[in-house]
Structure 1
Amino acid sequence: MVHPYLDDPSGVVALAHRGFSLDGRENSLAAFAAAVDLGFRYVETDAHATGDGVAVALHDATLDRTTDGRGRVADLPWSAVARARIGGTEPVPRLDELLGTWPDLRVNVDVKDARAVGPVAAAVERTRAHDRVCVTSFSRARRLATLARLTRPVATSAGTREVALFLAAHRAHASRAAARALRDVDCLQVPAAHGRLRVVDAGTVAAAHAAGRAVHVWTVNEPATMHHLLDLGVDGIVTDRADLLRDVLRARGAWL
């Protein structure tokens, strides 16, 4: 059974990476609003937790790169993080704020730190967003720990080790082992390549589909690459250039 998160009528999951912003306001409510205004039904975000247990939508472990604040999020109370401004203008959003602002928006949540596990689960529970959330992490342990705190299933994506096991089994023509590597997840979210290693090609897409798993590729910003991946049969694309992905999908008749 396909999780409701993945049940998109267009046939292509178009994910706006950290919302949509060309001026450094990533992971802000303004960036997520810009993606929604473009017509996106999916956004991707990252989650850390403050020292007093508030889950925030922020990629970095510190405030330094994207905000006018300083310090590690995990060492600061929410009151301090709330004063920081992304790009000098936008507040750092709480995860439950993102989930609650757009009740129909589907949100891909990358749990970045073990201390964020409980706060992320609490935000999903508080907003009852289970049907429209995908919990992912490079760490399988973090993902499973988050799921263990939820009262209902959410969609899930493979961690680094699971991806490696899947690719190794696929290349060894061990289809059962490849499927087994993905047995605990709903989708495979991966880069098109990792260094010289080609991760996404016709064979890996077919193997994931044979295992009943969707393939989402990150982070793709060139229209030619978007077209190529869609021609391969991928089920979703994560992009910083939501405007360009929308144009590509419109041209292919896959934008609702």
Structure 2
Amino acid sequence: MKTRLVACVVAVGLLTQLTACGSEYLPGIKWPEPPVVTPGEKDTDPPSDAMVLFDGTSKSAFDNADNWKVEDGVLIAGRGAIVTRESFGDCQLHIEWSAATPVRGRGQGRSNSGVYFASQSEGNGYEVQILDSYENPTYFDGQAGALYKQQPPMVNAMRPPGEWNSYDIIWTAPRFHSDGSLKSPAYMTVIHNGVLVQNHTELAGKTAWDSVPKYTAHPDRLPIRLQDHGNPVRFRNIWVRDYKKLEGEQVEEPRFR
């Protein structure tokens, strides 16, 4: 019986090794243990490390909320945007919202609102559009799930008016050098009713209705704002959690064993 040695050439960065097939690759990185987070009973429930912004009872997580009402466990948009008292950087936001019934208006005038990240003032920040886009034509980069005036959603995943929609948004804040120049842009991933509509989409700057997108330096952590566009919109089950990529330490050269 002949024995055949099968060799594999494996490239690891600048390291090229000749090793027997089936050898285990060891990257030489010492990783911290991922922290334990207990998920909610349902996928839409807040996990154990989340900050609950609205649980159906209190508006206390928001400023400027006097004109917004809480009725039957639902937060109803009123005059003026509301803004979180806490500031957030890279984070995961869950929010549920419902367009009005009976249907009122058309186009951009139908249950219009928005979720703004890194918001320093009314209408300022990076917006995921909220709009009743169910059988309601409008410009594509302004419909539900759009990064306003920058990127339409990949699909229209709206439910009919009166039914609840959910957004799960992954926000990666932009970073700036000390001189105010852009170091890395902002990104957003948006899942609308369980459907991926934005996949780590790069933003060209702050979103605006009447100006070209651009970046101006700001802190990594800023409040989240819910827009008042003069239309009836309902909200419930709003929570947010910070996230941070685990950083490992290279303690030895990559090798095989």
Normalised by the length of structure 1, the TM-score is 0.26
Structure 1 or 2: larger helix share?
A: 1
Structure 1 or 2: larger strand share?
A: 2
